[in-house]
Structure 1
Amino acid sequence: MNKLLTLIISLGLLSTPAGAANILKELSVAQGFEVSIFADDVENARQIAVSKKGIVYVGSRKAGKVYALIDHNSDGVADKQILVASDLSMPSGLAIKGDDLYVGEVHRIIRFKNIDKQLKAPKYEVVYDALPTERHHGWKFLRFAPTGELIIPVGVPCNICAEDERFGRIFALDVNTKQITTLAKGVRNSVGFDFHPSTQAMWFSDNGRDMMGDDIPPDELNRLTNEGEHFGFPYVHAGAILDPEFGKGKSTSDYTAPALALAAHVAPLGIHFYNGKQFPSDYKQQLFVAEHGSWNRSKKSGYKVAVATIEQGRVIKYTPFITGFMKNEETLGRPVAFAELADGSLLISDDYANVIYRVSYKKN
C-alpha cells in the first residue's frame, strides 16, 4: 500500500482488507504513539527479523511459509511481498546473523545464506536436525545470544507431563560445532525471549498449563540468572503453585520463581527490549510483551501489548501499551512478536489478522 492508496482509504473511497481496516479502528495506543499497517495479507505472521538492508522477514506457523517484505521508499509501508519459502514444518521462528537467515522448523534449523541477494526460490542448508519431531508446542522462536549461540526453546508435547530431557528446555546451539547446551529447564512453552541490552541477561516468556481453571496458574516472565536453572514445570507453577498431579513431595523453594507472574492464560509470546532512538527515554531498554490472548477461558484475557519497566533486574511496573485486539469477547487480532526498523519504529506481527503493525512516536 503506497501513500496515495493510504490517502484514498482515509477519504473512504476504497476499503482495506477487512481485518486491517477493522482492527486499526479499535486499537488504542499509549499517548504520543500511533499504529499503522506496515504490511497486510501476511498469512499467519509470527516472528520477524530485519536484515541490514532493511528487508523484513516473517515466519509463519500454520502457513508453513517464510516471507520477505520490502519497503522500497522507506515510507513505513511495505510495497512488495515475496514468498521466500513454503511447505516447511511450522517455520514460526527465524533470526538473522550476518547475511544469513536462520529458520526454525519443528524438527530442525535451516539456513538461507546471503538471503537478501537470493529472495526468489533461495536454496537452504540444514544446520541442525536433531530436534524432536512432536508438533504440540513444537514451533520455535529463535534469537542469537550476544555470545553468538543460537537460542532454541523446545516446548513440552502436552498440556502437563513429565518428559525427558529433550523437552521443556531452552537450548543454546553453536551453529559451527553443532554443540548444544541446556540454558534453562522446567519451561513449559517459551515462544519469546530477549537479552537485556546492558546486562546481557536473558529474559523469556512462558505459557502456563491449562485445565486448572480461569485464574490459575499465572503465565510468566522469567529472568535467567544461572545456566541450567529449573523454572518449575511440571512440578511448580509460577514459583508458588504445586501442580495437583506432579507437585506431590515437591517444594516451591527448589525452583526459580518468575520475575513477574502474569494473569492466567494471557499467553505471552514475543518479548523485546526496545533499544531504538525514536521512542521517549522512558521506553529505552524496557521490555515489550505481546499477550497473544486466551483460548480456554470463560472470559477472554490478554489480547494486548504491554511494557514491563525494569530496574536493576526487577520488574517495577507492568503497563498496557496497545489494547483493542479483542472487543466484546470478539477476537480482532492477536499480537505475536516484535522487531525494530532502522528509524526506531517498532514492528508487531499478528497471526490472526495476518498483518504487521508499525508503531511510531509522534514528536511534537
Structure 2
Amino acid sequence: MKTKVLFTSFIPMMAVAGLLWYGTNKHTDIATVTPDADNAGLTLPAGFGALKAADNTGRARHIAVTPAGDIYIKLARPTKEGNGIIYLHDGNGDGKLENTKGFGNYGGTGMYIKNGYLYASSNTEVYRYKLNDKQEVIDAAAPEKIITGLIDRRQHETKSLVLDNEGNIYVNIGAYSNSCQQKDRTPGSMGQEGCPILDSAGGIWQFKADKLNQTYKDGVRYATGLRNVVGLDWNQQNNQLFVMQHGRDQLHDLFPAMYTTQESSIYPAECLYALKRGDNAGWPYIYYNQDLHKKIMAPEYGGDGKKEGGQNAIDPAAAYPGHMAPNGLLFYTGSQFPAKYKNGAFIAFHGSWNRAPEPQAGFFVVFQPFKDGKAFGNYEVFADGFSGSPEKTASGRVDHKPCGLAQGPDGSLYVTDDVKGTIYRIIYNKK
C-alpha cells in the first residue's frame, strides 16, 4: 500500500558563508511515498512500511524535521568537509532526501527545532540558528552561542537537549564517571563521599532558550542523580520533561563476589523518568532492579546486591533491561499511525558493550504505551532488524545502530543510525 505525503520545497538562496542552498518555492503535487521492497531491512508491525530516506550521511545522532519535511541531522563528528550538521531536502516528493548541504564545524548530539530556531549542541556548548519562514538556516556561519563552558571529561560527554513551551531549554550533562568511585572503574574501589561530580554533572540543567553566553551560574540544576541521559523529550500531554537514563556498568567486573556475569548483563535497568524541578533519581547511590521493582543500594556505597536504598529518590516511570543504551525518546503526537500510538513513547535502543561475555542486546526501537499521561503496560519491539542478523546482535558488531527519533509533519517516524548514517522513515500503510 502507499501513503500520501505533502512536501513543501524551498526557494533559491544566495551562497551564505560558502554554503549554497537551492530549490524551488512551490508546493509539489501530493506525492506518493512508497516503502522499500524490503522495508529498508526492518521488521515492523503489520501495516507499517519503511524506506531509507538517506544513506551514508555520517554518524547521525539526533534529528529534527521541519514542517516542510526537510531534515537537519547532528553528527557525532564532522565530515571530512568539516560539517557537523547535515541538511537534507526531498526535491521531488518521493521520500528520498537527495539534496544535501552541511554546516557547523563541531560534533555532538543535540538537535531540536522550536519557535523559529534550530538548536544544536557540541559536547561543551549549545548554539541556535535563526530560521526563515521555510525553516531554512539564514546564516549558517554565524550561530548564536546560548550556553558555553559545559563540562566534558571524555565520558558521557554528549549534551542532548529539548525545549519546553515556556522559553526554557534542558540540557543533559552526563556524569564523567561510571559510579562515582574513588578510582573510576577499578575493582573494589568505593564511592566518593558526597559524590562531588554531581555539582556540575550527572543531571539535567535548565537554561533560557533566548539568552546568549550562559554558563553554569546562569542555569538551574533541574534534576540530579542521572548518570547519563541521551534520549529525552518534552511530553506535550503532561507538559513535563521525560528522560531515558543509561544505567551504570560493570557490576560483576567491579564486585565479582556480589554479582554473576549474567546478573551484570541485565542489571541495572535502563529507566524512563518523568521529571519535575528538584527531582533526584539516585545515581550513584542506588540503581533500579527491573525484576524486583526496587531501588537497590549501589555496592560502592554499602550495597550487597539486595539491600534497598534511595528512599528520597524518585521511582522510574518505566524500566527496561540493562545495557541496551537508550539514545532516542519521542512522544508520538501524529495521526498517521493507529490510535494506540497517540501520546505513547518510542525509544531507540542503540545497543551497548557491557553485556559481555553474555550476548549483546538492543539495536531496536520499542514502543511504550501510555494511558492518561503515564506509562501503561509492557513495552513492545516496534522496529527491529537494524543489526543485520541475530548473530550480529549477539556479538555487538552490527550494521546499524538506531539513535535519534523525530516525527515528520505527516506523522511518519524518522530514525537515525550512527554507524553508517542511514536515515529510516517508517510510515503506516493506511487501508
SS of 2:266 mapped into structure 1: coil
Question: Once the two structures are superposed, what CA deviation does each residue of 1:138-181 show, in whole Å capped at 9, x if it has no partner?
Answer: 11211111222111010001222131411001111113344312
**1:214 counterpart SS class:** helix
3-state SS of 1:130 partner: coil
The SS at the match of 1:150 is strand
Tell me the matched-pair count.
Answer: 343
The answer to whether residue 263 in structure 2 is matched with residue 235 in structure 1 is no
What is the root-mean-square deviation in Å for CA atoms of aligned residues? 2.3
Q: Give the distance between the partners of 2:375 and 2:240, measured in 1 at CA.
A: 12
TM-score (normalised: structure 2) = 0.75
Contact 2:74 2:108 in 1 (8 A): yes
1:43 aligns with 58
* CA distances 1:250-283 after superposition (whole Å, capped 9, x unpaired): 8232211211121010111111011111111111
Name stretches of at least 5 consecutive residues in structure 1 with no aligned partner.
1-5, 11-20
Alpha-carbon separation, structure 2, partners of 1:205 and 1:121? 31
Q: Structure 1 residues 119 and 348, CA, compared in 2 at 3 Å: closer, same or farther?
A: farther
Partner of 1:165: 199
Map of 1:314 onto structure 2: 375
Q: Is the 8 A contact 2:225 2:280 kept in 1?
A: yes
SS at match of 1:49: strand
Residue in 1 aligned with 2:220?
Answer: 181
CA-CA distance at 1:318 after TM superposition? 0.6
- Counterpart of 1:328 in structure 2 is 390
Instruction: Give the SS at the match of 1:329.
Output: helix
Residues 281-338 of structure 1: CA deviation (Å, up to 9, x unaligned) = 1111110010111212120111111110112323322111011223233112111111
Q: State yes or no: 1:100 paired with 2:93.
A: no
1:35 CA displacement = 1.2
Determine helix, strand or coil for the equivalent of 1:245.
Answer: helix
Structure 1 or 2: more strand by fraction = 1
Give matches, 1:1-364, under 5 Å. 24-25=40-41, 27-63=42-78, 65-86=84-105, 88=106, 90-114=107-131, 116-118=135-137, 122-161=141-180, 162=195, 163-177=197-211, 178=214, 179-212=218-251, 213-224=264-275, 226-238=276-288, 240-247=295-302, 251-297=309-355, 298-312=358-372, 313-326=374-387, 327-330=389-392, 331-364=398-431
**Cα distance 1:345–1:254, how it changes in 2: closer, same or farther (>3 A)?**
same
Q: Which residue of 2 aligns with 1:3?
A: none
Residues 295, 308 of structure 2: 8 Å contact kept: no
Q: Any conservation in 2 of the 1:85–1:121 contact (CA below 8 Å)?
A: yes
Aligned residue type for 1:76: G
CA separation in 1, counterparts of 2:89 and 2:364? 27
Identity %: 29
Post-superposition Cα deviations, 1:26-65, rounded to whole Å, max 9, x if no partner, equal: x201111011111111100010012344321000113471
Shift of 1:184: 1.1
Superposition deviation, residue 118 in structure 1: 4.6
Question: Which consecutive segments of 4 or more residues in structure 1 shift more than 4 A?
Answer: 115-121, 247-250
Give 5+ residue unaligned stretches, structure 2.
1-32, 181-194, 252-263, 289-293, 393-397
Q: What TM-score do the two structures reach when normalised by structure 1?
A: 0.88
